[in-house]
C-alpha cells in the first residue's frame, strides 16, 4: 500500500512495520521461504491485518520493485538515448550502490529472478522506447539491444557486489561505461 501521508498514524505505522519486516526478511533469506505468518510476526501484527493491505507477498514485492524503478527513473528523467548513455550508466551504478542491501539482494539473488527481470524491463522500457534512435531499429534488434544493455549493466553490478565492492565505485562506472557504451555507440 502506497502511503500518501493522509492516513491515520496507526495505519502508517502498520504499513511501515510491514515493509521494514519484509525488507529484513529479504536480507536474511530467499523469497520463496518467506511466509505471511513470519512477516506478520516480525511486523508485530496478525495475518488478518497484513491481508487488509496486501493480497499476498508478491504484491508487496511488486510495490518494492515499483519504488526502486520510480526512484531510478526520476534520476534519469531528461536523459536521451544514445547521447546520454554515459550519464545513464553513471546514474544506474550510483543509484544501485546507494539503494541498500535489499536492492542488492533483489538484484543479485537467484530467487528474485522474476522481480529482477521485471525491474529491469520496466526501467528499460520506460526510457528506451522514447528514443527516436532506438525506434529506428526493427523490433527484433530492439530486443537484442535491450538485452545487451540490461545483461551487461546488471551483470557488472552483480559481479561488483559478489566481489564485495572492492573496486572503487568511480572506477567501476568508468570501466562499465567503456565496455557498455562503446558497443552502443558503434550502432550509430
Residues 106 and 151 both lie in one domain: yes
Domain check: are 46 and 118 in the same one?
no
**Averaged pLDDT score across all residues of the chain:** 88
This prediction has a pTM of 0.85
Task: Give the Å distances, CA to CA, from 85 to 81, 179, 182.
Answer: 6, 12, 10
Taking only the tens place, the pLDDT of each residue in 1-27 is 655 556 678 888 999 999 999 999 999
In a domain, 136, yes or no: yes
Are 47 and 69 part of one and the same domain? Answer: no
Whether pLDDT at 125 is above 90 = no
Q: Give the mean pLDDT of 105-130.
A: 77
Q: Is residue 44 domain-shared with residue 102, that is, in the same domain? A: no
Tell me which residue range forms the domain holding 31: 9-54
Contact 19, 39 (CB under 8 A): no
Dihedral sign from CA coordinates of 105, 10, 2, 6: negative
Q: Is residue 76 part of a domain?
A: yes
CATH number at residue 102: 1.10.357
Residues 6 or more apart whose CB falls under 8 angstroms from that of 157 comprise 92, 93, 96, 107, 108
Instruction: Yes or no: say if 187 and 145 are a contact pair by the CB < 8 Å rule.
Output: yes
Q: How confident is the model at residue 142 (pLDDT cuts 50, 70, 90)?
A: very high
> What is the per-residue pLDDT across 31-43, written as a single tens digit (0 to 9) for each?
889 999 999 999 9
Cis ω before 4 (30° cut-off from 0): no
CB atoms within 10 A of CB 66: 14
Amino acid at each position: 500500500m502506497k502511503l500518501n501521508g493522509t492516513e491515520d498514524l496507526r495505519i502508517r505505522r502498520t504499513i511501515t512495520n510491514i515493509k521494514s519486516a519484509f525488507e529484513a526478511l529479504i536480507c536474511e533469506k530467499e523469497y520463496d521461504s518467506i511466509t505471511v505468518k513470519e512477516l506478520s510476526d516480525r511486523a508485530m501484527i496478525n495475518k488478518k491485518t497484513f491481508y487488509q493491505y496486501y493480497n499476498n507477498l508478491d504484491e508487496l514485492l511488486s510495490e518494492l520493485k515499483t519504488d526502486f524503478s520510480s526512484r531510478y527513473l526520476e534520476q534519469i528523467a531528461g536523459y536521451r538515448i544514445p547521447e546520454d548513455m554515459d550519464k545513464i550508466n553513471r546514474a544506474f551504478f550510483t543509484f544501485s550502490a546507494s539503494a541498500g542491501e535489499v536492492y542488492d539482494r533483489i538484484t543479485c539473488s537467484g530467487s528474485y529472478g522474476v522481480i529482477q527481470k521485471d525491474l529491469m524491463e520496466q526501467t528499460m522500457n520506460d526510457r528506451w522506447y522514447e528514443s527516436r534512435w532506438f525506434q529506428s531499429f526493427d523490433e527484433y534488434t530492439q530486443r537484442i539491444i535491450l538485452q545487451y544493455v540490461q545483461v551487461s549493466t546488471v551483470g557488472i553490478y552483480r559481479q561488483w557486489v559478489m566481489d564485495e565492492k572492492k573496486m572503487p565505485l568511480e572506477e567501476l562506472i568508468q570501466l562499465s561505461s567503456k565496455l557498455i557504451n562503446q558497443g552502443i555507440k558503434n550502432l550509430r
